Amino acid sequence: MSRIGKKPIAIPNGVDVSVNGSVLTFKKGNKQKELDTKGNVNVSIENGNIVFSAKGDDRQSRAYWGTYRALANNVIIGINEGFTRVLEINGVGYKAAVKGKIVELNLGFSHPINYELPAGIEASIEKNQLTLKGDDKQLIGQVAAHIREFRPPEPYKGKGVKYLEEHIVRKAGKTSKK
């Protein structure tokens, strides 16, 4: 049995959840998100909780059970509180600036990199930290990974773009002969 799938999701105040066939619809204010389970799991709303159950007893059904429960939980957290991902930019002359929906990155190349943010993502800069905010966890992670990909941190001096909580294992540089 799925340990994640068994847990019901409490619906917070102000969030409306409706089930229409295999599509879950979440609403809060003017925000609306949909999650299509494609008929892989059974979904019901009982006593202010969303309850998921597996369609069958095979391994694939149990995998979908926990996956869709986690995805629905992420939608509720995103619509209610939002998600944040912080990137740290280290290196001499490395900097970032936000100009509307474009993040301009100077990462040691001969030209600046202009990265256009997708809809629903906001960025802000404070010193050498780029903060990404939004209500879609998958999209926030994808944008952060794409920005990190421009200049991943190197192991000798730690220069590059890294996640704030990431730890870079440093290597010893060259040693001279005595």
Q: What is the pTM of this model?
A: 0.87
The Cα 13–Cα 51 span in angstroms is 17
The Cα 40–Cα 30 span in angstroms is 29
Q: Which residues pair with 89 in a beta bridge?
A: 161
pLDDT in tens, the chain (178 residues): 568 888 999 999 999 999 998 899 999 989 899 999 998 899 999 999 999 998 888 888 888 999 999 999 999 999 999 999 999 999 999 999 999 999 999 999 999 999 999 999 999 999 999 999 999 999 999 999 999 999 999 999 989 999 999 999 999 888 877 6
The distance of Cα 22 from the centroid of its chain, to the nearest Å, equals: 24
Return the C-alpha torsion angle 55, 18, 47, 137, nearest 10. Answer: 80
Sorted by where each starts, the structural domains of the chain and their CATH numbers stand as 9-81 (3.90.930.12), 83-163 (3.90.930.12)
**What letters, b where the CB count within 10 A reaches 16 and e where it falls short, cover 70-103?**
bebbbbbebbbeebebebbbbbeebebeeeeeeb
Q: What pLDDT is recorded for position 61?
A: 86
